[in-house]
Chain A
Amino acid sequence: MNAPVVNVEEKLYQNRYRVDHGRPHIQIKNPQHCQTECKSQACTFVCPASCYKAEGNGAVTLITDGCLECGSCRIICTDNVQWEYPRGGHGILFKFG
């Protein structure tokens, strides 16, 4: 069976969020490191919300709006991810969980 093409944004569209605009709760500490040092860029396929994107120039960009707050990125990238929970009341708000 071939891997299906999945548009994760369509899935996330079903979810409810209260985005803390301008205050991302996760940040890439040193973006240069992703581009030059990190070969696997595992965050770009492991993140279940596809918050991390591999760019054409080798960089990795992060947009946390769709984050499901699982913590995977922090654990697989201990050196270069600054990770906090969003401020109280913000972020993903599960309707069913």
Chain B
Amino acid sequence: MKEKFDVIVVGAGPAGNAAAYVAAKGGLSVLQIERGEYPGSKNVQGAILYSDALEKIIPDFRDEAPLERHIIEQRQWVLNDDSFIGAHFRSDAFNKGPANRYTIIRAQFDKWFASKVREAGALQICETTVQHLIKDGEQVVGVQCDREHGDVYADVVILADGVNSVLARKAGFHGEIEAQNVALAVKEILFMPEEVIQERFNIGENEGVVIEMLGTITDGLMGTGFLYTNKESLTIGVGCMLSDFKASEKRTSPYVMLEKMKQHPSIAPLIAGGEMKEYCAHLIPEGGYRAVPKVAGNGWMIVGDSGGFVNAMHREGSNLAMTTGRMAAELVIEAKAAGRQMTEATLKEYTRRLKDSFVMKDLHKYRNMPGIFHHNKQFFTEYPDLLTGAARHMLTVDGVDKKTKEKQVMSSFRKTRTLPGLFGDAFKVWRSVR
């Protein structure tokens, strides 16, 4: 007898867990398949958890979920080789009421989320890689796993198999990912006593800081760095567009970039003494709106990174993953109740609902952003030097009058970027974020 479920969910990251949890809670028979030893063991993120998306799925998640620190301070740094210039925002309002975002450690968080999926009634099997989708004509009817008698069937398969989106590609739903649409990020986790973290970052117990960085740390490539405070560890990483790594004239390796960033005089004191316990690498789908493939068809839907649902501009991904997972599952529950077949005609409603949600609205808003930064590397090379140079010049008291100093600063900008260049850059950024 063929084993058949209402829904098969491939993957146990935020998108897959959200989909499987909502579907199981909605009374459907759910099989979730994960290739790792346990849910989370293949998953990598910075990682920031945005509460809202999870609250809509598990309202009281704060009672149980393994959370590290809630964020009370955000630092945006532009760095050249020996300086940074930054904007910081810190507010005690972030200490009042349920927090909006937390640092998390994904292997632990995903394990917890997946345990909620099992509690909700889904069948979860790990250590199993799905190799192919099984089709009957145009209709996806199940999946083929890498174990004996590994064919399992369902009315609908939700693909939450991550950024590489292997299954949809093999099935011909979309082509290979383009190197200009993904960032390659590497990171390390550095352990140190929590009191040390609290002193260095000027925070109390459970309070956290996020530092987002841009500048010469990425060696002229389009990318950003980050440093997050966990309970008793720091996460530090850097990511650049894969196409830029590939074309890098200096042949910069990601781990060399990370090591150089760790040695930056503004960063080194913050991480000093940290004991490195893991080194990770992962791709982030940063192609935005234009890179989102077709995400619903006959018997299948794509959720999370697999569908390219990442708002790179705002460093949001896991919340889009959970939201798309939830919405896909909700549609299946409704369609099932209405006795409808899981054909493309039924499931394309998922695409329509995504358009009405913050997911596609935000991606649409920043649709031109990737292109602008791809073609204007000055934002990662010249501006960091200009900005930090200007600040240093203005803050050095040396007998030169301020008016002259201002003129010198302006002329350094004009010389490097020219006046039309400066206005052009400002216009490009304005147009892409408005």
**Interchain CB contact under 8 A, B254 and A46:** yes
**Interchain CB contact under 8 A, A76 and B246:** yes
- B280 CB contacts on chain A under 8 angstroms: 68, 94, 96-97
Q: Mark B415-426, 1 if CB is under 8 A from A, else 0.
A: 000000000000
**Interchain CB contact under 8 A, B42 and A15:** no
Asked if B178 is at the interface of the complex by the 8 Å CB criterion, the answer is yes
A-B contact count (CB 8 A): 152
Asked if B256 is at the interface of the complex by the 8 Å CB criterion, the answer is yes
- A42 CB contacts on chain B under 8 angstroms: 245-246, 251
**Interchain CB contact under 8 A, B105 and A48:** no
**Interchain CB contact under 8 A, B126 and A89:** yes
Contact status of A88 and B146, CB under 8 A, knowing A93-B41, A96-B105: yes
**Interchain CB contact under 8 A, B255 and A48:** yes
**Interchain CB contact under 8 A, B107 and A45:** no
**Interchain CB contact under 8 A, B259 and A14:** no
Asked if B121 is at the interface of the complex by the 8 Å CB criterion, the answer is no
Q: How far is the CA of A88 from the CA of B399 in the complex (A)?
A: 69
**Interchain CB contact under 8 A, A71 and B126:** no
**Interchain CB contact under 8 A, B40 and A97:** yes
Which of A18, A69, A92, A97 has the most chain B CB within a 10 Å cutoff?
A97
Q: Mark B259-288, 1 if CB is under 8 A from A, else 0.
A: 110011000000000001111111100000
Asked if B328 is at the interface of the complex by the 8 Å CB criterion, the answer is no
Majority secondary structure of chain A interface residues (helix, strand, loop or mixed): loop
**Interchain CB contact under 8 A, A87 and B129:** yes
Which of B182, B189, B248, B279 has the most chain A CB within a 10 Å cutoff?
B279
Number of interface residues of A (CB under 8 A): 39
**Interchain CB contact under 8 A, B107 and A96:** yes
**Interchain CB contact under 8 A, B43 and A94:** yes
**Interchain CB contact under 8 A, A75 and B186:** no
**Interchain CB contact under 8 A, A11 and B35:** no
| Other-chain residue from B105, B177, B184, B255 in contact with A6 (beta carbon distance below 8 A) | B255
**Interchain CB contact under 8 A, B166 and A46:** no
**Interchain CB contact under 8 A, A94 and B40:** yes
CB-CB nearest in chain B for A1: B81
Which of A40, A69, A96 has the most chain B CB within a 10 Å cutoff?
A96
**Interchain CB contact under 8 A, A93 and B260:** no
Asked if A50 is at the interface of the complex by the 8 Å CB criterion, the answer is yes
**Interchain CB contact under 8 A, B256 and A76:** no
**Interchain CB contact under 8 A, B260 and A1:** yes
Q: How far is the CA of A70 from the CA of B277 in the complex (A)?
A: 19
Q: How far is the CA of A94 from the CA of B182 in the complex (A)?
A: 21
Q: Using a CB-CB cutoff of 8 Å, which residues 9-45 of chain B contact chain A?
A: 35-37, 40-45
Q: How far is the CA of A70 from the CA of B285 in the complex (A)?
A: 12
CB distance from A54 to the nearest CB of B (A): 10
CB distance from A31 to the nearest CB of B (A): 20
Asked if B290 is at the interface of the complex by the 8 Å CB criterion, the answer is no
| Other-chain residue from A14, A45, A70, A89 in contact with B282 (beta carbon distance below 8 A) | A70
- A95 CB contacts on chain B under 8 angstroms: 107, 277-278
- B108 CB contacts on chain A under 8 angstroms: 96
Query: What 9 pairs across the A-B complex have the smallest Cβ distances?
Result: A89-B127, A48-B281, A97-B106, A11-B279, A88-B128, A97-B107, A68-B281, A88-B127, A71-B164
Chosen A-B contacts, 11 in total, with CB atoms closer than 8 Å, are: A6-B255, A18-B37, A42-B251, A72-B281, A88-B128, A88-B129, A89-B35, A93-B37, A97-B43, A97-B45, A97-B47
15 further A-B contacts with Cβ under 8 Å, apart from A88-B35, A94-B107, A95-B278, are: A6-B255, A8-B253, A11-B255, A15-B278, A46-B184, A50-B255, A70-B184, A89-B35, A91-B42, A92-B42, A93-B36, A94-B278, A96-B233, A96-B280, A97-B44
Interface residues of B (CB under 8 A from A): 35-37, 40-45, 47, 81, 105-108, 110, 126-129, 131, 145-147, 163-164, 166, 176-179, 182, 184, 186, 188-189, 233, 242, 245-246, 248, 250-256, 259-260, 263-264, 276-283
